[in-house]
Amino acid sequence: MRELSYLEAIREALVQEMRRDERVFVIGEDVGVYGGAFGVTRGMFEEFGEERIIDTPISELGIAGAITGAALTGMRPVGEIMFMDFTTLSTEQLVNQAAKIRFMFGGKATVPFVLRCPAGSGTGAAAQHSQSLENWFVHVPGLKVVMPSTPYDAKGLLLAAVRDDNPVIFVEHKLLYKSKGHVPEHDYTIPLSKSEVKREGSDLTIVATAIMVQRALQASEQLAGEGIEIEVVDPRTLKPLDAEPIVQSVIKTGRVLIIHEAAKTGGFGGELAAVIAESEAFDYLDAPIVRLAGRDMPIPYNRTLEYHTVPQVEDIVVKAREIVQGRV
């Protein structure tokens, strides 16, 4: 079974799509000769040249504006923001322009771009380079938001995102880049609204995103030794959300724990809790809906403090055990 890292899967998706479609190009800071801040585009400059692997000045607003304009003229650009934190500088183009153009022009104009955003903590990069801001964009009508948790999903979702006629915010957790998994060499896509059950269980549903999917799976294996069987559901695409597999899982287990790295207040977990509470699953709940998320504070530089700022495997084990045992 062929294995690639998460990083390699993203690179392969970009290379295959650029070979297939000459409208696709990559643009961002240091994506060319340097190969990207995390090495995702390494080697691509040599194959595709400076007209399709484009280095930019340090201007995230400029990158967002460039991909918006290029998409409007028929190209399919893939922008890279070196750290998701700096989408804060891109939001005028993303929120006020790209997200609204198709609606304002009655569908006669499309904005088919992907903005890749390395996100998350765990690298010692401190408060300005470690944030998870996905829910800012989930809130904006007109944007799609994708958060793959495995190499297989990363390739399939990225290929689907590049071919989509809407702007897509593609969130890549930095700690996942080295993780490995099965990735077919052939071209395949995963629809941008298809949740997946990553592990089946009967006692508790965990809905998790990005790196938290992997931590939830690790915690589930530990809890299985205690006779507690966890079902893990990965939305993969946060917007548009495929809620049905989540609802059906909660109906099955009667309990749900929602986990994400972003700060708890205003995070995607609150939206998921509302979706579950407003669905038929509410009548099947045997325990309150519980969220486990990042603390409402900036990410510390100190590695010990950083570790305790976001949910870890041991935190998931403790919280899941409490829910199943009726102690919440």
Report the alpha-carbon distance of residue 120 to residue 5 in Å, rounded: 18
Distance from C-alpha of 117 to C-alpha of 26, rounded to nearest angstrom: 13
pLDDT score of 238: 98
| pLDDT for the residue 123 | 96
What is the model's pLDDT at position 34?
96
Stated pTM of the model: 0.97
Phi, psi of 122, rounded to the nearest 5 degrees: 105, 0
- DSSP, collapsed to helix, strand or coil, labels residue 70 as helix
Given a contact cutoff of 8 angstroms between Cβ atoms, the answer to whether 293 and 259 are in contact is: yes
Catalytic residue among 129, 173, 182, 308: 129
Report the C-alpha gap between 218 and 51 in whole angstroms: 43
What radius of gyration, in Å, describes the C-alpha atoms of the chain? 20
Show the beta-strand stretches assigned E in the chain: 3-5, 24-28, 53-55, 76-80, 114-119, 144-146, 168-173, 180-182, 196-199, 204-208, 230-234, 237-239, 256-263, 290-294
Q: pLDDT by residue for the chain (328 residues), tens digit each? A: 899 999 999 999 999 999 999 999 999 999 999 999 999 999 999 999 999 999 999 999 999 999 999 999 999 999 999 999 999 999 999 999 999 999 999 999 999 999 999 999 999 999 999 999 999 999 999 999 999 999 999 999 999 999 999 999 999 999 999 999 999 999 999 999 999 999 999 999 999 999 999 999 999 999 999 999 999 999 999 999 999 999 999 999 999 999 999 999 999 999 999 999 999 999 999 999 999 999 999 999 999 999 999 999 999 999 999 999 999 9
Q: How far, in whole angstroms, is CA 284 from its chain's centroid?
A: 29
Domains of the chain with CATH codes: 3-182 (3.40.50.970), 196-324 (3.40.50.920)
- CB atoms under 10 Å from CB of 68, counted, come to 22
Distance CA 322, CA 305 (A): 24
- Residue 1 is predicted with a pLDDT of 84
Separation of alpha carbons 102 and 167, rounded Å: 10
Active site residue 139: no
Task: Determine how many CB atoms are found less than 10 A away from the CB of residue 95.
Answer: 19
